[in-house]
Chains A and B, each alone.
Chain A
Amino acid sequence: MALLELDDLTVTLNTTRGPAKAVRGVSFALDRGATLGVVGESGSGKSMTALAILGLLPEGARATGQVRFDGRDLLTLDEAGLCRVRGDRIGVVFQEPMTALNPLHSVGRQVAETLVLHRGMSAGASRKEAIRLLDRVGIPDAARRIDAFPHQFSGGQRQRVTIAIALACGPDLLIADEPTTALDVTIQRQILDLIASLVEEDRMALLMISHDLGVIAENVERMLVMYGGALVEEGPTSELFAKPSHPYTQGLFGARPSLGAGRGTKLKTIKGTVPELVDMPPGCPFAGRCPLTIAACNAALPAPVELGLAHQARCIRLDVALRAP
C-alpha cells in the first residue's frame, strides 16, 4: 500500500468573482521511501495540493476527493486528528524560513516544542534532543546556539532550523514546498544536499515542490507537471526529461535559459499568461495558450494517455505534439 495516495483531489476556492477550482481532480500515489517532485508555475495548484494534504487550506477553501495517508483519509480528520499527524508523521519545510519561524522564541524552543507535543518529552530530554537535531542539520556549535533567536541566523541556517523541526519526530513523509527559492545558489546546493541525505538516511518519502526544473531533476525519481490546477503530465524524472510530451511541458523546458546555450539564441516563449483561476478554460487548462489548440480541447479535461512505463500526459493532440522537434 502506498504511503500517500491522492484520489481525485479537488480544491475549490471562494474568490471575489465566485468559486474557482485551484486543484482539479489530482490523483497520485507516493510509496514509502520514494521521492516525488511537483513542478508548475504560480497558480498551477502545486502548493494548494500540499496544503490540502496537510489540512492547512485557507479559510473558505473546500477540498473533495480523498487524501489517504497510511490508509486514513486526512480530509475526514478533525483538527485534533490532523494535529497528531502533522509534525509527527508528516514534516514540512516551507519557502520562507523567516516567516516559518517565530521570531520571539529561541530556535531550541521551537525544535523542542514538537518533541514535547508529540513525544511527551520532558524539558531536559527535549532540549538534549533539539541539540542533537540542530547538530545533525549542520548548525555549527549547536549546544551554544540553541538559545539564539531566528534573527541571529543567516537565511540558510534558518532553513536548516526549519528542517530540524520537520525531522524532529522522524516523519514518514517530508513535504518541501520551494525550500530553497529564497536562498543563494551555493546555499541552495547545501540545503538540497542536506535534504537528500536526510531523506536517504531516514528512508523518508519526499514530496518536493518547485518551479525550478533543475531542482526537480536532481532530487526526485518521479515528477508531476501541474498547470491550471490539473496534472498535465507525470512520469519518471529521466523519462520526462528525455521525452517531454505535453505541449505545456515542452514549452516549460524550452523557455528556460540554459548555461552555454550562448548569446543571441531566442528563448522559446509560451504566449500569453496564466489565466486567473476563474477564467480557466473548462476543458484542458492550457487550451488557448497552446499552439495546438483545437475546438475539442475545450470540451473536457483530457484523459491521461499512456506514453511509456508509468509516463502519461493529458492531451488529446499528443500525436502532433510528439512530432514537434
Chain B
Amino acid sequence: MSAPLLDLDHVVKHYALPREGLWAAPRRVMALAGVSLSVSAGRSLGLVGESGSGKSTLARIGMGLEAPSSGLARFEGQELASLSAEGLKRLRRDFQMVFQDPYGSLDPRRTVGWIVAEPLWRQSLGRSERQAAVAEVLGSVGLRSADAGKYPHEFSGGQRQRIAIARALITKPRLIVADEPVSALDVSVQAQVLNLLEDLQRDFGITYLLISHDLAVVDHVCDLVAVMYRGRIVEEGSPTDLFQGPAHPYTRALIAAMPKPIPGRRRALRKAVNGNGTAPSGSERGCPYADRCPHARERCRSEAPPLREVDGGRRAACHFAEEVMVLPSPA
C-alpha cells in the first residue's frame, strides 16, 4: 500500500465566536476535535454528517485553505501549514474543489471557456494550448468544445455542475474535494453527474473526498466512509460494512432517519433522533453522543470512547460497538 495522498493527523480546529462582553474572553467553538484520517490515491472517501459536524472545515483544512489549530495536514507527506504561500499555490494544481451550488460558483460575467481555463493562469501556456486544454476537458465531462464561448446562464443546473467539474479537472489534479456536488440538482440529473464522477475516476485515477449528507450518494461513489459527529469521526469503514451493520449508534440513527422508497414504512418507525449534530462550544466529559443515544449507559457519560478498531479495518468510537453491530438492521 502506497503512502496516503492526503493525511490528517489529530487535527483540531477552533473558531472564536464574537465577544459577548467587553472584558469577557471570546467563546470558542471546536469545529474539529482531533480528527485523524487518510485518503489513499485512486480511492474515494466519503464524509457524512449533519450540518455543523465539521465536514466542510475538514475539507478546507485538507485543501490548505485553513490552517489547523493543532495537528498536521499533509498532502503526499508535505505538511500544508509549513509551505510558503508560493509553495502552496504550486501544490494546489494537484487538488481542486467542486462546490455545492453550480449557480453561485461560476462567475456569470465570464464565458465558460474563461472559467474553465482560470486554474491554468499560473501555468504559462499559449492561447492555443489553453484552448485545446479547455476543449479536451469539456469533452471529458460531456460538453461540446463550442460551449466554451457561452455564458453560465445558458446552461442548466446539471450542465453547470459539469462546467465546475471541468474547471477542477483542467489542472489534471490528483485529488478532488467535492462538497455536496449533487444536492442542488434534480434526481434525474444527479444520476448523470454521479456516473460522470465515477467515469472520471476510472479514466484518470482521481481521488475523491466527497462530502454529502446523502448516504445513498456516498454509498454509490465511495470506497471508504467516515461519519462525523460534533467535530469527531465516530465511525469509519467500507460503505457495505457501515450501512449494513453500523457499529456506532449515530450511524444507525442516520440510516434509520433516511426516507426509504418503501411505501407505508413510516408507521413502523416512530423513534426519531433527538437534538442536533452541531458542535458544542465547550469541552465535555464522556461521549458527545450520549445525550441522544438510545443505548447510552453510565460509562458513556463519564468516559469518552476513543476511535478504535472494531472489526476488519473498521473503526468506531463507541464503548459498545460490538453490541451495536449485531443489532437488527436499522433500515
> Which A residues are within 8 Å of any B CB, using their own CB?
41-42, 154-156, 184-190, 192-193, 196, 211-215, 217-219, 237-238, 241, 251-270, 273-274
Contacts and interface: CB of A to CB of B under 8 A. Distances in A.
B189 A267 contact: no
A254 B194 CA distance: 13
B215 A259 contact: yes
A185 B261 contact: no
Contact of B258 (A185, A264, A267): A185
B147 to A, nearest CB: 14
A219 B217 CA distance: 22
Nearest to B196: A269
B132 interface: no
Contact of A258 (B198, B256, B261): B261
A188 B188 contact: no
Contacts of A265: 220
B188 A41 contact: yes
Given A41-B187, A41-B188, A267-B220, 10 more contacts: A155-B51, A189-B257, A214-B259, A218-B260, A252-B188, A255-B188, A256-B190, A256-B191, A257-B217, A266-B195
Interface in B37-53: 50-51
A184 B51 contact: yes
B222 interface: yes
B186 interface: yes
Contacts of B113: none
Contact of B259 (A218, A237, A268): A218
B263 A238 contact: yes
B220 A257 contact: yes
Contacts, number: 149
A188 B51 CA distance: 12
A172 B260 CA distance: 28
A263 B222 contact: yes
Given A260-B244, A262-B240, A269-B191, A196 B263 contact: no
Interface stretch (B4-12, B84-92, B270-278): B270-278
A156 to B, nearest CB: 7
12 contacts: A184-B213, A185-B254, A192-B259, A213-B187, A214-B258, A219-B266, A256-B187, A259-B219, A259-B258, A261-B219, A263-B222, A266-B195
Contact of B264 (A186, A237, A253): A237
Contacts of B24: none
B304 interface: no
Nearest to B221: A263
A263 B260 contact: no
Contacts of B221: 263
Given A186-B273, A193-B272, A262-B240, A217 B260 contact: yes
Contact of B190 (A156, A217, A255): A255
Given A184-B51, A189-B257, A190-B273, A218 B265 contact: yes
A259 B261 CA distance: 11
B208 interface: no
B50 A218 contact: no
B216 interface: yes
Interface string B261-291: 1111110001011101110000000000000
Contacts of A255: 187-188, 190-191
Nearest to B255: A259
When A and B form their complex, which 10 residue pairs have the shortest distance between CB atoms, in order from nearest?
A: A214-B259, A267-B191, A218-B266, A255-B191, A189-B257, A41-B186, A270-B188, A257-B220, A184-B50, A186-B273
B101 to A, nearest CB: 13
Contact of A263 (B189, B220, B253): B220
Nearest to A212: B259
B166 to A, nearest CB: 17
Contact of B262 (A185, A212, A217, A251): A217
Given A184-B277, A189-B272, A189-B273, A267 B222 contact: no
Given A186-B254, A259-B243, A211 B187 contact: yes
A125 B260 CA distance: 42
Interface in B47-103: 50-51
Interface string B204-234: 0000000001111101111100000000000
A187 B257 CA distance: 8
A202 B215 CA distance: 34
B276 A154 contact: yes
Nearest to A271: B192
A256 B277 contact: no
Contact of A218 (B253, B262, B274): B262
B145 interface: no
A93 to B, nearest CB: 17
Contacts of B239: 263
B331 interface: yes
B158 interface: yes
Nearest to A44: B186
B159 interface: yes
A273 B156 CA distance: 7
B189 A257 contact: no
